Structure 1
Amino acid sequence: MRKAFVIVSTLSLAAFALQFIFAAVGAFTEPAGDDAYTLHSITGMAVIPGLTLLTILCAVLAKAPGRIVGLAALPLGLVVVQALLAGLANGSTDAAGASTPFGLTIAGLHALNGIIAVHVVVSVHQAARKLANPPAADAIPVSVRAGEPA
């Protein structure tokens, strides 16, 4: 089950990386429209939450420490924050439908929250890899200094 934890956390990391690509596709689509962010929306509202739930399940079944299980669950909360920030940013327009400074600030927080989520997913992936490949009990740490043969 620990290998499954690594695989699912890798897929989750890939999905988060694709989110940034899909956001860029939406931002640079001309003419811009609501459908420009379809891939970004589907990935953020369905794929990532599904993979996060699967990652939590794998962490529990792999008997990961509680800290790692909690870390694996954190992206789910960050996705909820993402949806709230996106809704608030989209709703913060003037009478003509143009972006406001407040809305743009919230949109910036949406991007920042996405970066934080990626860092969390990287940490989960690293923890999963450590759990799946623990150091050998009889391994002796060796330090090698520059210029000395190994």
Structure 2
Amino acid sequence: MQPFPFVPFVWRDPTWLAEREDRDTREGSGEPRPDTGLIGYEVEATDGGIGKVDEDNALVPADCLMVDTGPWIFGRKVVLPVGTVHRVDHEERKVYVDRTKEQIKNAPEYDPDADPDDHRRRTGDYYTESYRLLPPML
């Protein structure tokens, strides 16, 4: 059992966000979108690269990252809750997550036509369960 519960939609270490919040906003809304500064960053699972933060990241809530997995799983787009992010390296332009490629591959696929609340619930349930079964591998 892990010493703390997994909260899928909360940044674990928000300190790096403070400097970005002022300039990164959702277009026209004024709503902070610090994650937009991550578009194009490589995403690294515990066992290797899984893709990049997609340019359509603003289509998902600010507490998620849309990742284009590229050809390794047939170009799927998956949504990762920000709670999976272990750290962000701006010099390398990489986002490190604490899940494996297999766990991300098995995550619910992003469907732009799906009910956003249902997709959020399924994604949150999937990752919460994965943390219960297999704690973060750091």
Do they fold alike, i.e. is TM over 0.5? no
Going by fraction, where is helix more abundant, 1 or 2? 1
Q: Name the larger-Rg structure.
A: 1
Higher relative contact order (CA closer than 8 Å, sequence separation 6+): 1
Going by fraction, where is strand more abundant, 1 or 2? 2
